[in-house]
């Protein structure tokens, strides 16, 4: 929004004011941490994306625990949000940051089953894989996560799906790394920005799916 101040802007100034529903330290980190700036800064919709990144896309990162916790609310029923995580055709549409594209998604969405995603950026290919430890439709998924570039580093991802009523779902994703140092290295390589981007893609997919359902 454009705010008000005592003196008008000079001819060579563009003055904008925005109130964010977020703590000051989180807004500051969104401006100063490269991984977060990469996600929201751009030529268009920058403040809108910043508001999104500090609003319902909440991130909880503690210095003493090797986890990354992301919380996101979707205007879609829990069963559909859950399905988007175990249906390979749906995952292929959203499970990648903007700079990458999915070549293939293979999964066996049951305890003991495995998943494999191959992504490409130009001539570079990336392999992501893991094993499902728990699958409780439509409430909870626990799986391991391995990036092909670091095959010995195994993370565990726990995703829960909370029915908020009125066709809304709260998703909580907790990624646990072997150490705080490993978690911090992930963040330096874009884990936060990538997570924000994939959930933005998921939101777009769910919006299309729900509109299609209502149109029938």
- Asked whether residue 175 is assigned to any structural domain, the reply reads yes
Q: Which residues pair with 124 in a beta bridge?
A: 121
Within a domain: residue 6?
Answer: no
The closest of 117, 167, 116, 169 to 140, measured between CA atoms, is 169
pLDDT at 31: 79
Whether 138 is in a domain gets the answer yes
Q: Is pLDDT above 90 for 133?
A: yes
Strand locations in the chain (E): 58-60, 67-74, 101-107, 114-121, 124-136, 140-147, 155-165, 168-176
Measure the CA–CA gap between 179 and 118, rounded to whole angstroms. Answer: 26
In a domain, 67, yes or no: yes
Is 24 part of a structural domain of the chain? no
Lowest mean pLDDT among 27-41, 122-136, 139-153: 27-41
For the ranges 64-73, 113-122, 167-176, 192-201, the lowest mean pLDDT is seen at 192-201
Q: What is the pLDDT of residues 183-203, one digit of tens each?
A: 988 887 778 778 888 998 999
| Domain contains 10 | no
In this prediction, residue 107 carries a pLDDT of: 97
Q: pTM here?
A: 0.75
Mind listing the pLDDT tens digit for each residue in 18-28?
676 667 877 78
pLDDT score recorded for residue 15? 65
58-60 and 114-121: which strand pairing? unpaired
- Domain of residue 123 covers 56-215
Tell me the percentage of the chain whose pLDDT exceeds 70: 77
Higher pLDDT, 28 or 143: 143
CB 69 within 8 A of CB 60: yes
- Tell me if 201 is assigned to some domain: yes
Q: What is the pLDDT of residues 47-104, one digit of tens each?
A: 555 555 554 455 677 888 999 999 999 999 999 999 999 999 999 999 999 889 999 9
Count: domains in the chain? 1
Q: The domain that contains 113 carries what CATH number?
A: 3.30.530.20
Is 108 part of any domain? yes
């Amino acid at each position: 929004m454009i705010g008000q101040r005592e003196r008008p802007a000079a001819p060579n100034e563009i003055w904008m004011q925005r109130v964010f529903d977020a703590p000051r330290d989180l807004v500051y980190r969104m401006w100063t941490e490269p991984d977060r700036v990469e996600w929201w800064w751009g030529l268009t919709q920058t403040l809108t994306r910043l508001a999104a990144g500090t609003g319902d896309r909440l991130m909880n990162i503690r210095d003493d625990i090797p986890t990354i916790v992301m919380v996101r609310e979707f205007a879609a029923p829990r069963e559909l949000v859950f399905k988007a995580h175990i249906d390979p055709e749906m995952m292929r549409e959203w499970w990648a940051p903007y700079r990458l594209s999915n070549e293939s998604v293979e999964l066996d969405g049951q305890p003991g089953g495995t998943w494999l995603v191959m992504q490409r950026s130009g001539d570079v290919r990336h392999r992501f894989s893991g094993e499902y430890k728990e699958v409780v439709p439509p409430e909870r998924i626990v799986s391991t996560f391995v990036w092909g570039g670091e095959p010995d580093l195994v993370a565990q991802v726990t995703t829960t799906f909370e029915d908020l009523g009125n066709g809304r779902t709260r998703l909580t994703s907790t990624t646990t790394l072997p150490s705080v140092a490993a978690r911090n290295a992930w963040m330096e390589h874009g884990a936060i920005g990538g997570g924000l981007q994939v959930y933005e893609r998921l939101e777009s997919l769910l919006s299309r799916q729900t509109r299609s359902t209502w149109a029938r």
